[in-house]
Amino acid sequence: MFRYAYLHGFASSPDSFKGNVLSAAMERHGVFLERPDLNAPSFRNLTVTDMLDVLDRMDGVTDGNEPWRFIGSSLGAYLGALWATYNPFRVDRLVLLAPAFRLLDHLERLTGPVGRSRWERDGAFPFPDAGGKRTLVHHGFVEDLQMYPPCPEVTCPTLILHGARDDVIPLETSREYASQRPHVRLVEVEDDHELRRSLFAVEREILSFFHLDQGEALPDSKGQPTLF
């Protein structure tokens, strides 16, 4: 009836801790969670345009009769909302975890005070990739991002979960977005951007939003890699 996918965030991968945990949780309730690799064409040469192409290809192998339900994290949440904007009849529901709306306004939080100008000047800036290896990401990511709306206009029922102590994408960004759209519900949790300490609450909210059985809890997250 529906197809489900987890869309990982920046400097992450399909095998991230959060993706693995949510995939296992959904599987316990009879749901297969697809996890495309959004480091397209690579983390070094990442662009939103190429990430959208990944979702286009993922959708292209379906018969077109089963709409998607996306769970997106950070940049992946932004991407899911953006793809839903362009394909409104292909997305039934969205769960957005600390969505990276207005990302251009918050890049300094990722790069540091002088990092953004250095990124533009040098044409690349070092970020740790999904495995922790420092990788020069080209400034083309920023230039490509400028072509897209900072806050995609979704029309389907949407659930946002955002941490009150998020120091990457401020909670106020999601508050503003949800307050202007009656089909968007915001759940605030006492956590940071990664939502690691709130994963049990995240699972409950997701299963309820998707109308799935809520019988089982997530495994303990202690000692796991810090990926989102």
pLDDT in tens, the chain (228 residues): 899 999 999 999 999 999 999 999 999 999 999 999 999 999 999 999 999 999 999 999 988 889 999 999 999 999 999 999 999 999 999 999 999 999 999 998 889 889 999 999 999 999 999 999 999 999 999 999 999 999 999 999 999 999 999 999 999 999 999 999 999 999 999 999 999 999 999 999 999 999 996 444 444 333 332 333
Phi, psi of 161 (to 5 degrees): -115, 125
Relative orientation angle of helices 103-111 and 115-122, to the nearest 10 degrees: 100
**pLDDT for 112:** 87
Kindly report the backbone phi and psi dihedral angles of residue 23, in degrees, each rounded to the nearest multiple of 5, phi listed first: -60, -45
Task: State residue 69 phi and psi, 5-degree precision.
Answer: -125, 115
Identify the structural domains of the chain with CATH numbers, from first to last: 3-209 (3.40.50.1820)
Q: Please give the distance of CA 158 from its chain centroid, rounded to a whole number.
A: 13
Residue 119, pLDDT score: 97
DSSP letters spanning 109-163: HHH-TTHHHHHHHHSEEEEE-TTS-EEEEETHHHHHHTTS-SS----S-EEEEEE
Check: CB of residue 10 under 8 Å from CB of residue 100. yes
pLDDT value of position 91: 98
Buried b (16+ CB within 10 A) or exposed e, 26-44: bebeebebebbebbbeebe
pTM for this predicted structure: 0.92
Q: What is the pLDDT of residue 154?
A: 97
CA distances from 115 to 107, 123, 163, 166 (A): 9, 11, 25, 20
What per-residue confidence (pLDDT) applies to 213? Answer: 65
Q: How far apart are CA 135 and CA 133, in angstroms?
A: 6
Q: Which residues of 57-90 are buried (b: 16+ CB within 10 A; e: fewer)?
A: ebbeeeeeeebbbbbbbbbbbbbbbbbbbeeeeb
